[in-house]
Amino acid sequence: MKKLSILVAALAAFVFTGCDEAKDDNPVLATHEEAIEAEFLNEPVMQNQYIDFTEADATGSLHLTCSQPEGYGYAASARYQVQVSLTKDFADFRNVSEPFRLCSAIDPVNGDIAGALCELYGVMTEADLANVGYAPLYVRLKADIYTDLGAIVPGTTYISNVVEFKHVKVSYLAIIIPGQPSIYYMRGSWSTGWDAMPEYNFLTTDEKNVWEISELNLSDASYDFKVADANWGAVNLGAGESNIVPGTPYVLFGGDNPGNIHLNGPFKGKATLTLKNGTYTLLLSPAN
């Protein structure tokens, strides 16, 4: 190992001690060129249980504990990044959650793990999950020293041993895949039967509960329309007598067959549908 340069040593002076141990009066932080593998992640209590990540428990967490890597030269305050993989060699892995500060409370969020699993499995739709059953999930930690300004001190990376959760499954699409069809359509008087047409289907974006029609071209003088699903079933959104104004967010109303939304004049641009706190809002953004 080599000693820190004067600059890095100065940065390390900002680092707090961790894991309830007092630091030395004159600590010297040891660094290394490459990441070092070390045994400091404890075997998880739930490793033999069947764990099913569902949308209902997305805000829960998977509890892990570890010990401080011993190579820092003193009880430096490390932060721990959780990494997960479908294979023990971690040929393909994902980071989950933010780095954790306490050895005794490394609690990655279930929703983050579920999202990582979906990415690792390469699922694109809910239907893809039908082929995903219980399988091992491999977990390790990446430990680094941080300054109090949030910067990683170079040469302080340790990679933990790998632990295995033997039976893990994800049961919902925990990632957002942009450009996928949604259940929402603009259905209006541009079609004789107010049909659910592909060119008026809202597509997913990279933000949850936000969908858009990126190229909407309505060339006639006026239109009436609603936002609905393909069967006028679970979704049938409209508005009383109010007219929608391009460039202004417009609150949609549901209930029992709400009134039509009226658009005065032609429109060319983008339509964005947002669901927040149970309320749907439609924004027509004119093209530049």
Instruction: List, in sequence order, every residue forming a beta bridge with 267; answer none if it has no partner.
Output: 218
pLDDT digits (tens, 9 = 90+) for 221-236: 889 999 999 999 888 9
| Boundary-marking domain end, from 133, 150, 170 | 170
Q: Kindly state whether residue 175 falls inside one of the protein's structural domains.
A: no
| pLDDT tens string 165-182 | 999 999 998 988 899 899
pLDDT band of residue 208 (cuts 50, 70, 90) is confident
Same domain, residue pair 41 and 154: yes
Same structural domain for residues 148 and 12? yes
**Whether residue 266 sits in one domain with residue 133:** no
Q: Is the pLDDT of residue 13 over 60?
A: no
List all residues 6 or more positions away from 69 whose beta carbon is below 8 Å from its beta carbon. 36, 38, 40, 78, 143, 158
**49 lies in the same domain as 7:** yes
46 lies in which domain range?
2-170
* pLDDT for residue 94 is more than 90: yes
- Kindly report the CATH number assigned to the domain that includes residue 201: 2.60.40.3620
Kindly state whether residue 126 falls inside one of the protein's structural domains.
yes
User: Do 156 and 52 share a structural domain?
Assistant: yes
Q: How far apart are CA 65 and CA 143, in angstroms?
A: 13
Q: Is residue 176 part of a domain?
A: no
**In this structure, are 232 and 138 located in the same domain?**
no
Q: Is 286 exposed, middle or buried (0-12, 13-18, 19+ CB in 10 A)?
A: exposed
The answer to whether residue 10 scores a pLDDT higher than 70 is: no
Average pLDDT of span 191-199:
95
pLDDT over threshold 50, residue 257: yes
Domain assignment present for residue 36? The answer is: yes
- Residues 43 and 165 grouped into a single domain: yes
| pTM for this model (two decimals) | 0.66
Among 170, 194, 210, where does a domain finish? 170
- What would the mean pLDDT of 264-282 be, rounded to a whole number? 93
At 17 the pLDDT is 41
Given this model, what pLDDT does residue 25 score? 61
**146 pLDDT tier (thresholds 50, 70, 90):** confident
Do residue 141 and residue 9 come from a single domain?
A: yes
pLDDT confidence of residue 140:
98
| 8 Å CB contact between 181 and 197 | no
Q: Are residues 150 and 65 in the same domain?
A: yes
Rounded Cα gap, residues 251 and 175, in angstroms: 27
How confident is the model at residue 246, as a pLDDT?
95
Query: In terms of domains, do 145 and 199 share one?
Result: no
With a cut of 60, say whether residue 242 has pLDDT above it.
yes
Percentages (nearest 5) of helix, strand, coil residues in the chain: 10, 40, 50
What CATH number does residue 27 fall under? Answer: 2.60.40.3640
- Which of 170, 197, 229 is the endpoint of a domain? 170
Residues 213, 155 share a domain: no
pLDDT of residue 149: 64
| 30 belongs to a structural domain | yes
Find the length of the chain.
288
Can you tell me the mean pLDDT for 244-259?
A: 89
If asked whether residues 67 and 165 sit together in one domain, one would say yes
Mean pLDDT of all residues in 247-257: 88
